[in-house]
Amino acid sequence: MTTLADIETPAALIDEARMAANIARMQGHLSSLGVRLRPHVKTSKSIEVARRQQAAGAKGITVSTLKEAEQFFAAGFADILYAVCIAPDKLDRALALLAKGCGLTILTDSVAGARAIVAKGREAKHAFQVMIEIDSDGHRSGVQPEAADLIEIGKVLQAGGQVVKGVLTHAGSSYDLDTPDALQALAEQERALCVRAAERLRAAGIACPEVSVGSTPTAVAARNLSGVTEVRAGVYVFFDLVMSNVGVCSPQDVALSVLTTVIGHQPEKGWVIVDAGWMAMSRDRGTSKQKLDYGYGAVCDAAGRVIEGLWVSGANQEHGIIARRDGKADAGVVERFPIGMKLRILPNHACATGAQYPAYLAVSADGSATEWPRFHGW
């Protein structure tokens, strides 16, 4: 049996019990609101993780790249939504996956994108299943719910023999909020504007059966999802320090951590040097503008209990610096954190930290660790 003591550092650990609780919580919440959950697997890029989400009741998956679609389809996931507006020259790769039997849905938010899909669909004699991306909060992509272009996109697709499967939005500005009222208001805005877009399409004679919304914060905050058919959320499976600052989890819920080893000290400064630098944590500093800045991560003992008052104050490629958050020199670090000691670091952003590793080590309640591969690249 592999245990923590056998693991070479740095390593990405999944606390299986915490992950199971996170999965159960989100699935229970959305089931109680009467909508399906289509988890975004870009967070884990792990077949083992996604299987646990499906076993808990999720319907289908969301992906951010065609490589994710290919990898998950090869592992038996057939209902896949590629939730990034497709570049025209990726349509052949999508067709190859469809030809193998994958139930792939693609996305566009422009008339030019719709025309490219129609051209490729006609050439291949294929009716793509297409969602139209709606901009519900101004943070990134999507057509405005009241725009003339929304109807034009629908008509171009329909007239071109493609299937308008529905509308999709992602209120990613939820990451910038940190009060329950603001989150609940944005969740309602996300819902209302996406439903409104669907109603406009239907009034124009375009069927639009699906209404897909979501981000982890708005999914947690939502109290009414009428008109919505499915919710997409990703990072909830692990949670992270950014989500803790947003207020949708606590640090004790965070299921992903980085196991690290003490490799040195600067005793006068009270610094502990560990072998988890930014390559192990990622360069994500998502908490830097939030109410509690965690530096490159929150420091825990090897069992995962947060050590209050410390943070990873700096990081080079393979060096992390642990120091007191208040800037004072921590006393006795050489004795309290001896060379060779193991610590765990909770990440700012689980999606970014996970991406630094070829595999996770899933730690179960008995302390045994099992390797769960994840993939990398496009």
Question: How many Å apart are CA 303 and CA 294, to the nearest integer?
Answer: 19
Closest by Cα among 307, 285, 280 to 296 = 285
Residue 376 binds its own copies, judged by CB under 8 A = yes
Nearer Cβ to its own copies (225/312): 312
Applying CB under 8 A, among 15, 109, 137, 210 the residue interacting with its own copies is 109
Nearer Cβ to its own copies (223/336): 336
Angle, in degrees to the nearest 10, between helices 66-74 and 91-99: 10
Applying CB under 8 A, among 64, 173, 245, 287 the residue interacting with its own copies is 64
Could you tell me which stretch among 21-29, 49-57, 71-79, 85-93 binds its own copies (CB under 8 A)? 85-93
| DSSP state letters, 225-256 | -TT--EE---GGGT--HHHHHHTSS-GGG--E
Question: C-beta of 137: minimal distance to its own copies in Å?
Answer: 12
Category of 309 on φ-ψ map: left (φ > 0), alpha (ψ -120 to 50) or beta:
left
CA distances from 137 to 141, 142, 176, 274 (A): 9, 10, 12, 40
Residue 44 binds its own copies, judged by CB under 8 A = no
Residue 11 binds its own copies, judged by CB under 8 A = yes
Nearer Cβ to its own copies (201/274): 274
Nearer Cβ to its own copies (202/342): 342
Helices (H), the chain: 16-32, 47-55, 66-74, 91-99, 111-124, 148-159, 180-203, 216-221, 241-246, 278-281, 333-336, 350-354
Give Cα 251 to chain centroid, integer Å. Answer: 17
Residue 59 binds its own copies, judged by CB under 8 A = no
Residue 264 binds its own copies, judged by CB under 8 A = yes
Nearer Cβ to its own copies (266/368): 266
Per the listing, tokens 């299921």 go with: 255
The answer to whether the beta carbons of residues 5 and 353 sit under 8 Å apart is: no
Question: C-beta of 223: minimal distance to its own copies in Å?
Answer: 26
Question: C-beta of 267: minimal distance to its own copies in Å?
Answer: 10
Could you tell me which stretch among 13-21, 23-31, 225-233, 262-270 binds its own copies (CB under 8 A)? 262-270
Residue 230 binds its own copies, judged by CB under 8 A = no
Nearer Cβ to its own copies (10/29): 10
Q: What φ, ψ does residue 312 adopt, rounded to 5°? A: -90, 100
Could you tell me which stretch among 18-26, 178-186, 223-231, 282-290 binds its own copies (CB under 8 A)? 282-290
Residue 57 binds its own copies, judged by CB under 8 A = no
Applying CB under 8 A, among 255, 352, 361, 362 the residue interacting with its own copies is 352
| Footprint of its own copies on 141-170 (CB under 8 A) | 141
Residue 93 binds its own copies, judged by CB under 8 A = yes
Residue 332 binds its own copies, judged by CB under 8 A = no
CA distances from 374 to 68, 86, 104, 311 (A): 10, 23, 21, 27
Cβ neighbours of residue 5 under 8 Å, at least 6 residues apart? 342
Could you tell me which stretch among 2-10, 30-38, 95-103, 297-305 binds its own copies (CB under 8 A)? 2-10
Question: How many Å apart are CA 55 and CA 51, to the nearest integer?
Answer: 6
Applying CB under 8 A, among 359, 368, 370, 371 the residue interacting with its own copies is 359
* Cis before 10 (ω within 30): yes
Binding-site ranges for its own copies (CB under 8 A) = 8-11, 42, 64-65, 84-90, 93, 109-110, 112-113, 116, 135, 140-141, 172, 261-266, 273, 275, 278-280, 282-285, 314, 316-319, 321, 334, 338-340, 349, 351-352, 355-359, 376-378
